[in-house]
């Protein structure tokens, strides 16, 4: 049976250690984190080692990610940021980096400079034995171009975010296009309204998860199913009425239901 995972954030109201303890007790297998915070990454890596959880992925920062496509110091800064993620992943035994290659509607078109910038990052990650997983956002062209440039036997693959697909893609489905390149998933729910990216637990919004299961099954993807949910934190009212055990149990039931249906 495939692994199931969830994101871990430093601001979760339950505390990182109790949250991870409860994940292991409830039946989760894996986690991922976002950002290049060395102390937090080190802490999560050590906690995973003590619990027997897999630290599957590090989501690279997406600040100013559109600058990737420019031949100037801003483009170089994005490359440096992404390479820092690859270094942190390598140092902590994290096999995959999740990256955005666009943001918002005003993303630049694919440029030669951007392709060179991305290649510097990909080669650096390859030298660190780290897989680069490109996540779908609003734009198709840059993802398609990059996955065509780097073959299946390279260290570049696809991260399918079903929630982004539902609220950003205007009906486009990505797994039929890139399912054979899928190396990771971000699973969440929303209201299926354009630009309303809610990161709800599956079955709490309007996404058709029967269709999600069918797409996963048809793609041949056999890797982990990983929640990317808006975990309870200060200032958010999502799931604020649930205590630690209730939230983790609800999250587990949702992703396990999808796991069963996708087999």
* pLDDT (tens digit per residue) in 178-202: 999 999 999 999 999 999 999 999 9
**232-241 mean pLDDT:** 90
Question: What pLDDT was estimated at residue 237?
Answer: 87
Question: What pLDDT was estimated at residue 72?
Answer: 94
User: Do the bridges between strand 156-161 and strand 54-59 make them parallel or antiparallel, or are there none, so unpaired?
Assistant: unpaired
The CA distance from 9 to 15, in Å, is 9
CB 238 within 8 A of CB 201: no
Q: DSSP characters for 45-88?
A: HHHHHHHT-EEEEEE---TTGGGGGSSSHHHHHHHHHHHHHHHH
Residue 118: give its domain's CATH number: 3.20.20.150
Q: What six digits make up the tokens of 182?
A: 């899928």
- How would you class 238 by CB atoms within 10 Å of its CB: exposed for 0-12, middle for 13-18, buried for 19 or more? middle
Based on the structure, what is the number of domains in the chain?
A: 1
Q: What six digits make up the tokens of 105?
A: 């509607």
Listing from the earlier edge strand, what are the strands of the sheet with 30-34?
182-186, 156-161, 131-135, 96-99, 54-59, 30-34, 4-7, 225-227
Per-residue pLDDT at 235 exceeds 90: no
Question: What pLDDT was estimated at residue 199?
Answer: 97
Question: What pLDDT was estimated at residue 236?
Answer: 87
Task: Supply the mean pLDDT for the chain.
Answer: 97
Residue range 5-39, pLDDT digits in tens? 999 999 999 999 999 999 999 999 999 999 999 99
Please name the residues in contact with 112: beta carbons below 8 A apart, sequence gap of 6 or more: none
**139-167 mean pLDDT:** 97
**Residue 200, CA distances (Å) to 42, 64, 160, 230, 247 in order:** 27, 25, 16, 6, 12
Look up tokens 């990909």; give the residue.
122
The CA distance from 252 to 239, in Å, is 14
Per-residue pLDDT at 205 exceeds 90: yes
| CA–CA–CA angle 199, 204, 208 (5° rounding) | 90
**Helix or strand run (H / E) with residue 134:** strand 131-135
The CA distance from 76 to 45, in Å, is 29
| CA–CA–CA angle 8, 69, 158 (5° rounding) | 45
Determine the structural domain holding residue 212 and report its residue range.
4-262
pTM: 0.97
Per-residue pLDDT at 232 exceeds 90: yes
Question: What pLDDT was estimated at residue 159?
Answer: 98
**Residue 184, CA distances (Å) to 5, 17, 116, 222, 227 in order:** 11, 24, 24, 10, 11
Q: What percent of the chain has pLDDT over 90?
A: 97
Residue range 78-134, pLDDT digits in tens? 999 999 999 999 999 999 999 999 999 889 999 999 999 999 999 999 999 999 999
Question: What pLDDT was estimated at residue 99?
Answer: 98
């Amino acid at each position: 049976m495939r692994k199931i995972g969830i994101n871990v954030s430093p601001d979760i109201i339950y505390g990182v250690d109790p949250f991870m303890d409860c994940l292991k007790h409830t039946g989760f297998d894996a986690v991922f984190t976002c950002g290049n915070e060395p102390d937090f990454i080190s802490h999560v890596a050590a906690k995973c080692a003590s619990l027997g959880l897999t630290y599957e992925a590090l989501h690279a920062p997406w600040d100013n990610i559109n600058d990737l496509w420019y031949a100037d110091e801003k483009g170089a800064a994005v490359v440096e940021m992404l390479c820092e993620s690859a270094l942190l992943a390598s140092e902590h035994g994290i096999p995959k980096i999740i990256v955005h290659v666009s943001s918002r509607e005003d993303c630049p078109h694919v440029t030669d400079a951007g392709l060179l910038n991305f290649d510097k990052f990909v080669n650096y990650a390859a030298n660190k034995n780290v897989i680069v997983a490109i996540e779908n956002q609003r734009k198709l062209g840059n993802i398609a171009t990059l996955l065509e440039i780097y073959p299946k036997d390279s260290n570049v693959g696809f991260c399918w975010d079903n929630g982004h697909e539902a609220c950003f893609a205007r009906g486009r489905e990505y797994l039929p296009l890139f399912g054979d390149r899928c190396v990771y998933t971000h699973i969440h729910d929303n209201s299926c309204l354009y630009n309303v990216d809610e990161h709800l637990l599956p079955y709490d919004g309007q996404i058709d998860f029967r269709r999600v299961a069918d797409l996963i099954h048809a793609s041949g993807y056999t890797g982990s199913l990983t929640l990317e949910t808006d975990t309870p934190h200060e200032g958010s009212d999502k799931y604020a009425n649930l205590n630690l055990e209730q939230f983790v149990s609800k999250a587990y039931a949702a992703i396990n239901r999808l796991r069963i249906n996708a087999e």
